[in-house]
C-alpha cells in the first residue's frame, strides 16, 4: 500500500506531487479502472476455522427464513454514479468516536478492531447504531496514520457520557464534500485516491487535510473484491 494517498492536498503543488509519486508505481487493476461498476456484496460467511457440526442421523425440518432488519444508511442516502464524482452535502450526525493509530500494513485489522470496540460499547449502553462505519484520516506519514473511527447513532445520549477507554461522543464531519466511489479490494484503493488527486488537480480544488472513508459494505478483508467504499474530500 502506498503511503502517499492520504498526504494533505492543501494546494495544487501538493496534488501534483502526489500524482507524480503515484505515477511511478506499477499499475494495478484499480489504477487502470479505478471506478468499476457496482457489485453486490457477498452474504455473510461463517468463520473458516469454525468447528464442523455433527451430522444428525435424521434430516431436520428446514428453519424458517429470517427477515433481515433495516440496513444502516450512508451519510448521503442518494446513491452516486459508480463511475463519476458527486458533489454532496454531509449532514452532521451524532456518533460514537474512537481515535487510533496504525501502520499501513495493519490498516484493515486496526479499523475493524476499532469498529468492533465501538459496537460493543454501544450494545453495552443500549445505544442503537444508525449509520455505516466511518474512518476519518487526519495525520499520515510513511509509517502509518492517525484516524478517528466513527459509528453514527440515532441521537446523542443525554447526558452525554464521559470519555471512557478512549471512546467519546461527538458528530461526524459535515458540509460540502466530493464523493468518490471505490468498488474493489482495499488493496486497490490507491487507484481511487489517484483518481481523486487527478480530479482535484484538474479542477484546481483545495481540500481540507483529512479524508473520510465510509464503508458501505463491511470491511472484512483487505483482499475482498466486493468492498464498497465512499471516499469524501472536503473542499476548503
pLDDT band at 161 (very low <50, low <70, confident <90, very high): confident
Beta bridge partners of 232: 179, 212
182 lies in some domain: yes
> Out of 19-23, 118-122, 206-210, which region has the weakest mean confidence (pLDDT)?
19-23
120, 125, 128, 132: CA torsion to nearest 10: -40
18 lies in some domain: yes
32 vs 195, residue with greater confidence: 195
Mean pLDDT in the chain?
A: 78
Under 8 Å between Cβ of 233 and 193: no
Residue range of the domain that includes 91: 12-32+74-235
**Number of domains the chain contains:** 1
**Residue where the block lists cell 447504531:** 129
The predicted structure's pLDDT at residue 64: 38
60 lies in some domain: no
The predicted structure's pLDDT at residue 160: 84
Under 8 Å between Cβ of 219 and 111: yes
225 lies in some domain: yes
14 vs 95, residue with greater confidence: 95
The pTM is what? Answer: 0.71
CATH of residue 207's domain is 3.20.80.10
The predicted structure's pLDDT at residue 140: 87
Q: What is the mean pLDDT of residues 127-146?
A: 93
Amino acid at each position: 500500500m502506498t503511503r502517499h494517498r492520504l498526504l494533505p492536498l492543501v494546494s495544487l503543488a501538493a496534488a501534483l506531487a502526489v500524482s507524480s509519486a503515484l505515477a511511478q508505481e506499477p499499475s494495478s487493476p484499480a489504477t487502470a479502472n479505478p471506478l468499476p461498476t457496482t457489485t453486490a456484496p457477498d452474504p455473510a460467511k461463517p468463520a473458516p476455522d469454525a468447528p464442523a457440526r455433527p451430522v444428525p442421523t435424521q434430516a431436520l425440518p428446514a428453519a424458517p427464513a429470517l427477515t433481515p432488519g433495516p440496513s444502516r444508511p450512508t451519510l448521503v442516502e442518494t446513491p452516486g454514479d459508480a463511475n463519476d464524482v458527486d458533489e454532496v452535502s454531509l449532514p452532521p450526525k451524532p456518533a460514537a468516536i474512537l481515535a487510533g493509530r496504525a501502520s499501513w500494513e495493519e490498516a484493515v485489522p486496526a479499523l475493524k478492531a476499532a469498529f468492533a470496540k465501538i459496537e460493543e460499547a454501544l450494545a453495552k449502553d443500549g445505544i442503537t447504531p444508525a449509520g455505516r462505519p466511518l474512518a476519518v484520516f487526519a495525520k499520515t506519514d510513511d509509517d502509518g496514520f492517525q484516524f478517528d473511527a466513527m459509528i453514527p447513532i440515532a441521537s446523542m445520549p443525554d447526558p452525554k457520557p464521559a470519555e471512557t477507554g478512549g471512546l467519546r461522543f461527538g458528530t461526524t464531519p459535515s458540509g460540502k464534500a466530493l464523493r468518490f466511489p471505490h468498488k474493489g479490494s482495499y488493496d486497490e484503493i490507491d487507484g481511487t485516491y489517484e483518481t481523486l488527486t487527478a480530479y482535484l488537480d484538474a479542477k484546481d480544488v483545495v481540500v481540507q487535510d483529512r479524508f473520510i472513508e465510509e464503508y458501505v459494505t463491511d470491511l472484512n478483508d483487505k483482499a475482498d473484491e466486493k468492498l464498497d467504499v465512499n471516499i469524501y474530500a472536503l473542499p476548503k
